[in-house]
Amino acid sequence: MALANNLTAILNLLALLCSIPITASGIWLASKPDNECVNLLRWPVVVLGVLILVVSACGFIGAYQYKETLLAVYLCCMAILIGLLLVVLIFAFVVTRPDGSYQVPGRGYKEYRLEGFSNWLRENVVYSKNWRKIRACLADSNSGCCKPPTACGYNFVNPTLWQNPTNMAADADCYLWSNDQSQLCYNCNSCKAGLLGNLRQDWRKANLILIITVVVLIWVYVIACSAFRNAQTEDLFRKYKQGWV
């Protein structure tokens, strides 16, 4: 019984440690300039990380002090949290899977097409009623797309000043570029696509950390369930030998 509880306590300590990269991933996403403007799916990750921390701490206390009721509550709550984390992971993977980038001929960088991204991202970011706020935030933070499409043939003066385009008919965005520092290319589809490209890259990086963490959590949870069941079986046999049953 003591051995099983000690094992469960150690496993809960590992689960508690797993909450750190989950919370850190959410905070990292929240700190990225583009995510600061969009406020998309970053806080659910932070909340889940904090809840896993709290539940793991309760499980550790329950195992250390032999509180079977607290351990049962821990196992139930952890199953729910792992399920929610899997839902967030799968959802983020699905909506960030389409890649709207394309290689610019003769250049060492990529640009983006809006139609190359998932419908959900487009509907909830660039086509939403919040785009005006997002656009203002991008302008204030000097992030996002601040250049016209390469195909327009604008001549570079500085990152926010482009002049004398040679091929205005190449893209509708060529006519939307403005050297007004409050306008730039924030009304361009290429700018909106660039924002989605940045969001996608950030989320794919965070997903890698979350996938590793959730695999460890599932492994810890399965072993903890087995240890808890074994502890209950040992307790039942002990009571039987003592004549309580």
Q: What is the pLDDT of residues 79-124, one digit of tens each?
A: 999 999 999 889 888 888 887 777 777 777 777 788 888 888 888 8
What contacts 23, CB < 8 A, 6 or more positions away? 45, 46, 49, 50, 53
- 207 lies in the same domain as 92: yes
- Residue 232: the pLDDT is 58
pTM score of the predicted model? 0.76
Phi-psi region of 113 (alpha: psi -120 to 50; beta: other; left: phi over 0): beta
- 186 lies in the same domain as 139: yes
- Residue 86: the pLDDT is 92
- 7 lies in the same domain as 80: yes
Domain endpoint, select from 156, 179, 195: 195
Q: How far apart are the first and last CA of the chain?
A: 18
Tokens representing 160 are 């926010």
- 164 lies in the same domain as 140: yes
- Residue 1: the pLDDT is 47
- 129 lies in the same domain as 186: yes
Domain endpoint, select from 195, 212, 227: 195
Q: List per-residue pLDDT tens for the chain, 245 residues long.
A: 455 556 767 777 788 888 888 888 888 887 777 777 776 666 788 888 899 888 888 877 777 777 777 778 888 888 999 999 999 889 888 888 887 777 777 777 777 788 888 888 888 887 767 777 777 777 776 665 567 788 788 887 877 777 777 887 777 878 877 777 667 777 788 888 888 888 888 888 888 888 999 898 898 888 877 766 665 555 544 555 555 44
Tokens representing 164 are 């004398």
> In angstroms, rounded to a whole number, what is the distance separating the alpha carbons of residues 188 and 169?
15
**Count of domains for the chain:** 2
- 118 lies in the same domain as 238: no
Tokens representing 102 are 């394309």
- 16 lies in the same domain as 93: yes
Taking alpha carbons only, the member of 125, 119, 104, 120 closest to residue 198 is 125
Count CB neighbours of 66 within 10 A: 16
- 10 lies in the same domain as 87: yes
- 62 lies in the same domain as 177: no
- 84 lies in the same domain as 126: no
- 42 lies in the same domain as 122: no
Structural domain span for residue 239: 1-98+200-243
CA distances from 220 to 11, 12, 130, 223 (A): 6, 8, 41, 5
Cβ atoms of residues 159 and 145 within 8 Å: no
> In angstroms, rounded to a whole number, what is the distance separating the alpha carbons of residues 146 and 140?
12
- 191 lies in the same domain as 204: no
